[in-house]
Structure 1
Amino acid sequence: MPRVLAPFPAPALRLRRVALCAALALAAACGWSGAEEEDVGGAPGAPTGLTAEAGSATSVHVMWNVTARAHAYEVYRGITKVGEVTGPRHMVDVTRLRPSTLYVFTVRARDADGRLGPPSRQVRARTPADVADDHSAPTRPSTPAGRTAGSRALQLSWSASRDDRDVVSYDIHQGAARIHSVSGDQTAAVVTGLRPGTSYAFTVRARDAAGNVSPASTTVRLTTPGTDDGRATAPTGFRATSHREDGAYHVDLSWVPPRVDGEITEYQIQLDGRAVTSLLYGGNAPRDRAAHSFYVGQVAGATHRVRVRAMLPDGIWGGFSAERTVTTGARR
């Protein structure tokens, strides 16, 4: 999933270290340092890389890094729990806040057995003053631009929007999904955690203190250099057999979902070189092993080639599994 780190140097820009994740999206980790937390068992550790930016006079956008063994995250304002998100998500908008107020936030990770880890470090964010009767959105961010920075990162920049009061924040979107918010004095960022040889599309929107949102900027489309053989994002342990039922033959598949940052809810099955089935899961997407069976005809002895791939949380197709050959009516 994409991560956004410190903005790249640019003349006349006030840049601060930022972090960004996607979402499938999506998300990755904010404030990412390049080191992955080691999974050694037990309760989850304290979330790292916590950031908080005011999104309007009454909301703050809170983000943090991926935490090993986390099944869900609890978000606290002071000692009060104000939000909870499931493991694939690493961001939340805390709303119903007071204007011109300083708030303190922490996050705790909880594993699938309900064990709660220690709190993250505290971060502070001050909401701007409220603006009465403000119904005018900022102008759209102009001249968005980007360039690749290796096979797994790219640099984004845009020109500041105008508002009759002040621009409080900018929302960055990957495709249709908002993947982060940065403060209104930032006009550049570095997106990391990308895949080699992959095309991405980003837009930016400006937001004022009243929560009015500008139209989207024009789209920045970039393709990271290099090639991606797909092995890191392909389903593994792929198996294919057939069975006969009610006078017809069916192909039975099973596989292990790829290990990626986020939940996989969509798969595409390819039969004999063409896509024939799409699987969509709701809130119970398989994590350990997925399975599916589909009709292939009434002829015994027909041989088929089959493979599967996953739609990753960042909205990009992953690599195909190994291809298997299955013959209807063959003995297992």
Structure 2
Amino acid sequence: MQRPLAAAVLTLAAVLSLAACVKSADTDTRAPTAPRGVTAQSGSATTVHVMWSAAADDRGIAGYEVHQHGRKVKDVPATTLMTDIEGLTPRTSYDFTVLARDAAGNRSPNSASVPVTTLAATAQDRTAPTRPASLRGEATSPRTVTLTWRAAADDTAVTAYDVYQADTRIHTVPGTATTARIATLRPGTIYSFTVRARDAAENASPDSAPLDLTTPAAPGDTSPTATAPTDLAATAKKGEITLTWTPPKTDGAQVTEHQLHLNGSLATTIVWGAAPPPGRAAYTFTVPDPPGTRYSVKLRAKLPDGTWGAFSAQRTVVTR
């Protein structure tokens, strides 16, 4: 009667040992690499813009920490490679480092320390820079684009240019630069870029004219950017927004239905009961919010096979 019990004990021990081995194998003890390419730029008397290149990890980065002189001042999600540190003192020296963190809590070594001095405070500067002009660009790879523009003017000085994609700031360069390289984009995707100039008092210029760029598809990628509406334009007046666009080409078949997304959410479906108008399409809708409200709009078309195509480039419009 003892032999089966002994066998059961041995079997249980083997199972526990195997479970321990599996758990040990699954334990993540490897820390991410330290972020590289850290830069710190003072965009005003009280803010510093910190940027870096993505760290690497065998299981993926969960987030980043920005430290000022050894003290953590910002937590940033893994998808973000820049942040603003605010509430600083004018004309003061600071140093910043960045470290990466994975899901198991392993933290990378600190990046190289980057020194920066905030700008001097400017008294009573309420004049914004002029709008950056002649925005041009090129998709240089499936994941990168290069933008150039004509310098803005300011009564004191332009201290920074902010690059926006779909009304979200994604990059900042010094006020002496008129070019920017944007990386970590998706292959085969339509992007809409604008640029704003900023001075030391944080006065921001109006947006530049938007620029639409499509990144090339990666090898083997079938991203359906050809199914997106193109040349979307948005204008606002007295509580109304008017959109005009060119529907996607579908080998002669008519596109009779579009979805309108407002501020990232589906707002309505635009349907033509009869044949759609030839050439460019147009649609006007009312908005309830007061003048000065910003809206982001984009469209996608229902294709003849019943599926939804790719989104157009996004536009931002301010009500009057």
Using structure 1 for the length normalisation, give the TM-score: 0.55
2:33 to 33, 41, 45: 45
1:164 to 146, 152, 155: 155
CA distance in 2, matches of 1:203, 1:221: 9
Larger RCO (alpha carbons 8 Å, 6+ apart) = 1
Q: Is the helix fraction higher in 1 or 2?
A: 2
Q: Tell me the CA shift for residue 229 of structure 1.
A: 5.1
Q: Tell me the CA shift for residue 208 of structure 1.
A: 0.6
1:128 and 2:116 equivalent? no
- What is the match of residue 76 of structure 2? 85
CA distance in 2, matches of 1:309, 1:147: 24
2:169 to 178, 191, 207: 178
Deviation per residue, 1:172-214 (Å, 9 max, x gap)? 0011110011110010122334444432211000111011111
Amino acid at match of 2:177: Q
Deviation per residue, 1:12-64 (Å, 9 max, x gap)? xxxxxxxxxxxxxxxxxxxxxxxxxxxx9612221112111112111011111
Using structure 2 for the length normalisation, give the TM-score: 0.57
- What is the match of residue 267 of structure 1? none
CA distance in 1, matches of 2:108, 2:175: 33
- 8 Å Cα contact 1:170-1:184 kept in structure 2: yes
Amino acid at match of 1:56: S
C-alpha change, 1:122 and 1:143, in structure 2 (3 Å) is: same
- 8 Å Cα contact 2:171-2:182 kept in structure 1: no
CA distance in 1, matches of 2:33, 2:143: 27
1:54 to 19, 23, 42: 42
Amino acid at match of 2:44: S
Larger radius of gyration: 2
1:191 and 2:179 equivalent? no
CA distance in 2, matches of 1:94, 1:149: 31
CA distance in 1, matches of 2:212, 2:171: 18
Amino acid at match of 1:51: T
- What is the match of residue 266 of structure 1? none
- 8 Å Cα contact 1:74-1:81 kept in structure 2: yes
CA distance in 1, matches of 2:212, 2:310: 23
C-alpha change, 1:309 and 1:159, in structure 2 (3 Å) is: closer
CA distance in 2, matches of 1:124, 1:168: 17
CA distance in 2, matches of 1:66, 1:309: 31
Percentage of matched positions with identical amino acids: 44
C-alpha change, 1:219 and 1:81, in structure 2 (3 Å) is: same
SS of residue in 2 equivalent to 1:106: strand
CA distance in 1, matches of 2:309, 2:106: 33
- 8 Å Cα contact 1:196-1:228 kept in structure 2: no
CA distance in 1, matches of 2:193, 2:130: 18
**Paired residues for 1:165-244 under 5 Å:** 165-225=156-216, 230=221
1:111 to 74, 88, 102: 102
**Paired residues for 1:1-332 under 5 Å:** 42-67=30-55, 68=57, 69-225=60-216, 230=221
Aligned residues: 207
C-alpha change, 1:78 and 1:310, in structure 2 (3 Å) is: farther
CA distance in 2, matches of 1:200, 1:145: 13
CA distance in 1, matches of 2:108, 2:187: 34
C-alpha change, 1:232 and 1:113, in structure 2 (3 Å) is: farther
Of the structure 1 ranges 134-143 and 110-119, higher mean CA displacement relative to structure 2 is found in 110-119
The CA RMSD measured in Å over matched residues stands at 3.4
C-alpha change, 1:115 and 1:231, in structure 2 (3 Å) is: farther
C-alpha change, 1:87 and 1:195, in structure 2 (3 Å) is: closer
Structure 2: runs of 5 or more not aligned: 1-27, 225-256, 262-305, 315-320
Deviation per residue, 1:247-298 (Å, 9 max, x gap)? xxxxxxxxxxxxxxxxxxxxxxxxxxx999x9xxxxxxxxxxxxxxxxxxxx
- 8 Å Cα contact 2:188-2:221 kept in structure 1: no
- 8 Å Cα contact 2:189-2:223 kept in structure 1: no
- 8 Å Cα contact 2:162-2:173 kept in structure 1: yes
CA distance in 1, matches of 2:123, 2:193: 32
CA distance in 1, matches of 2:223, 2:132: 36
Amino acid at match of 1:205: R
Amino acid at match of 2:46: T
CA distance in 1, matches of 2:170, 2:188: 21
